[in-house]
Amino acid sequence: MAREPEIVTRYREAAERGDAMAQFNLGDSYRLGYRIPRDTREAVRWLTKAANQGHREAIRRLQEMQAEGIDITPPPEEETPRRPQSLEDLLDSLAPGQGAEGDGGIGVQLPVPEPETDPLYAVEEAIDVNALRAAADAGNPAAQVVMGNALRDGLLGFDADPAEAARWYRLAAEAGDARGQYSLGVLHDRGLGVPRDEAEALRWYHKAATQGDAHSQFNLGNMIAQGRGCKADPAVAAKWFKKAADQGDGAALFALGALHESGRGVAQDDGKAAEFYRRAAELGEAEAQYNLANMLRQGRGVEPDPAEAAHLCHRAAEQGLAEAQFNWALMLSTGQGVARDKSAAALWFRRAANAGDPRAQYHLAMLMDHGDMPGNPAETARLLRAAAEAGDARAQCDLGVMHLIGDGVPFDEAEAARWFRRAAEGGNALARFNLGVMHAGGQGVAKDEVEAYCWLSLAAASPLAAIAQPAGRAVAALAARLGADGLKQAAERAARLAGAAP
């Protein structure tokens, strides 16, 4: 083997002592094959050592090598000479290996995927803003609509300016462009950049719809179904929905499904409803997925299939539909159509609650209250209040109870009575009983035995024996004190309250 040139040997000795310049020179010699055989691996090793000491030239050299596609990962250092095995080494060698077994796969790394060196970028249209503006100025309606879209939503570097958007849309609309007419209709419908005007919205939707624009056909159908800007007529609405649906508009397919399910404007037909829902669901319409899931669960219009119901409900839930998130959580917690998974259920109850579903908020509060989920009384009360304010009678009643005992909320009898009243008016039997008792005793409210009699008699009609029986006993006791006039007055008031209840 040929002897190493002296200059290289000197570099090496100094480099091994830690001299950054020598490390750089040695690395560069290996890189260039200068006086020693070229060896990229060694070059990377020594250049990295120099770079680690802040040698700028070495850093630059490594960057250049990387740009050329050379792997600049430094090679592992050579093993140090073996030393006799110590007791610690022996114990280490006896320790179980790291790996997947028994750890639920948590420790398994997903290997870094092979990157695509030439990715698909332009599958979603890229827009040249200058060319767009020039085309719009030249009177191209399609470009005017795109300008309008950009200004409406503040895209392509424009600040949002709905009035300017309306100007562009109007130019396109008046030139007969269906998308321009549709977009102008939307602005009038929502009162964005132009005065809100349903008749004007209807007019532009109609112009675009007759040109075959599916979105306009759907929006027109929607306005007609809801009686906005014209007289409500579900049958006519269904015709426009049908036209949009024929073009594959998912929202229109869903709307047709809903009409068939309710029998508004078309013959009630669960089978057809399910069919339309399925087509819309396949296009990703979350509401359609949710409704179809309910039909599959209940076996309405389709053969019951809990597994498919669960799958569809999951898809709708993943899209953020709060009702679907709640149902999916219930399915997970009861194992309906899917393997039971309490922890996943809790996660979905929380997501539904955060999305504002009052049933989920109540359910989550109950799970916390029963200790099935970590939480505290204040958190429970917060969830109950959110559900109560959204009109959930059970939550209103439970919140009243919390105020009555001062658990998680300040002790406040008047506040308790207020929530009991809202729940009682919503038909909650326990709230009716509690409110009756509070009126009888003048607790948090003015003492009023006629009012107490009313609520207690309504509670006594509850099918729940645990409420009906004590309520019945209280009613009997009050009846003895009220006399005929009082009873007559109470009966009239109770009838009114019962009639007002949902």
Partner 1 sequence: MSRNVSFEVQVLTDKNWVIAETAKDENQAKAFADNLLQTGNHAAVRVVRDWTRPDGLHAETVVLEKQSTEKKGTDLSLAPITEAPPCRELADFYGSAARLTLGRLCRKYFDEMGVTPTEMLHSHAELKRFGDKDRLLFSAIDRVATLQAAAMGEEPKARRDFLGKCWDDLCIRARQVSDGKKLAPPKALADILKAKPGDDGDVGYMRQTLMSARLLEVRNLPGKLDILLKWAAEPGGTEILPLIDGFTADVVLSAQVIQDLLGFQPNLAHALCSLCDLAEGVAQPAKFAPDSFGQLNALFADGSLPQAREVLLGRVARELGGANPLSRNEPKLEYEMFSKVAHRLVCHEKVLGGGAQAEALLHRSARVHNTGSNAVKQALDFLLSALADTVHRVQLLVALAGTEVGRGLGDQLVKELKARVLGSDHIDLWVPVRHPPRDRMAALAAVARTLAASESLDAEIKAELATHVDEMLAKYLVDEGVIEKIDKQDDPLALRAIRLVKFCGSGVLIDGKSMALARAAVVEHLRQPQFEEKFLASVGDPAKAEKSLREFHKLLLDSGFR
Is residue 108 a contact point for partner 1 (CB under 8 A)? yes
Angle at 308 between CA 303 and CA 309, to 5 degrees: 85
The enclosing H or E element of 106 equals: none
Interface of this chain with partner 1, residues 127 to 146, rule: CB under 8 A: none
Which is nearer to partner 1, 108 or 477 (by Cβ)?
A: 108
Distance CA 452, CA 486 (A): 11
Instruction: Give the shortest CB-289-to-partner 1 separation in angstroms.
Output: 9
Q: How far is the CB of 153 from partner 1 (least distance, A)?
A: 11
For partner 1, what does the binding mask look like between residues 315 and 334, x meaning CB under 8 A?
x--xxx--------------
Q: Which residues contact 93 (CB under 8 A, 6 or more apart)?
A: none
- Say whether residue 80 binds partner 1 (CB under 8 A): no
Residues 6+ apart with CB under 8 A from 45: 27, 74, 75
**Region class of 384: left (phi > 0), else alpha (psi between -120 and 50), else beta:** alpha
Residue 154 makes contact with partner 1 by CB under 8 A: no
Instruction: Tell me the window of 36-44, 351-359, 364-372, 387-395 that interacts with partner 1 (CB under 8 A).
Output: 36-44
| Residue 109 Cα to chain centre, angstroms | 28
Residue 97 touching partner 1 (CB under 8 A)? no
Integer distance in angstroms from the first to the last C-alpha of the chain? 100
C-alpha to C-alpha distance for 91 and 450, rounded to whole angstroms: 83
Is position 246 an interface residue for partner 1 (rule: CB under 8 A)? no
Asked whether position 356 contacts partner 1 by CB under 8 A, the answer is no
Torsion of CA 450, 456, 460, 462, to 10 degrees: 120
Confirm if 355 and 320 have CB atoms less than 8 A apart: yes
Residue 342 contacts by C-beta under 8 Å, 6 or more apart in sequence? 332, 333, 372
- Indicate whether 442 belongs to the interface with partner 1 (CB under 8 A): no
Output the smallest distance, CB 182 to partner 1, in A. 18
Q: Which of 41, 60, 473, 481 binds partner 1 (CB under 8 A)?
A: 41
Report the C-alpha dihedral over residues 50, 55, 56, 61, rounded to 10 degrees. Answer: -20
CB of 252 to partner 1, least distance (A): 18
Asked if 385 is part of the footprint of partner 1 (rule: CB under 8 A), the reply reads no
Closest approach, Cβ 231 to partner 1, in A, equals 35
- Our finding on whether 77 is near partner 1 (CB under 8 A) is no
Minimum Å gap between C-beta 131 and partner 1 is: 17
Minimum CB separation from partner 1 for residue 318, in Å?
A: 4
- The yes or no reply on residue 109 touching partner 1 (CB under 8 A) is yes
DSSP-assigned states of every residue in 239-290:
HHHHHHHHTT-HHHHHHHHHHHHHTSSS---HHHHHHHHHHHHHTT-HHHHH
Is residue 499 near partner 1 by the rule CB under 8 A?
no
Q: Does 100 bind partner 1 (CB under 8 A)?
A: yes
Q: Of residues 458-487, which lie at the interface with partner 1 (CB under 8 A)?
A: none
Q: Does 119 bind partner 1 (CB under 8 A)?
A: yes
Read off φ and ψ for residue 444, nearest 5 degrees.
80, -10
DSSP sequence for 321-378: -HHHHHHHHHHHHHTSSS---HHHHHHHHHHHHHTT-HHHHHHHHHHHHTTSS---HH
We find the least distance from the C-beta atom of residue 170 to partner 1, in angstroms, to be 25
Instruction: Give how many residues touch partner 1 by CB under 8 A.
Output: 49
- Please pick, from the candidates 91, 122, 446, 480, the single residue that binds partner 1 as defined by CB under 8 A: 122
Quick one: CA torsion of 256, 259, 263, 268, rounded to 10 degrees? 30
Among 303, 370, 371, 446, binds partner 1 (CB under 8 A): 303
Q: Does 239 bind partner 1 (CB under 8 A)?
A: no
104 belongs to the binding site for partner 1 (CB under 8 A): yes
Taking CB under 8 A as the criterion, the residue among 1, 94, 95, 112 binding partner 1 is 112
Q: How far apart are CA 348 and CA 338, in angstroms?
A: 14
Smallest gap from residue 304 Cβ to partner 1 (A): 7
Q: Which residues make up the interface to partner 1 (CB under 8 A)?
A: 37, 39-41, 67-71, 99-101, 104-125, 284, 302-305, 307-308, 311, 314-315, 318-320, 338-339
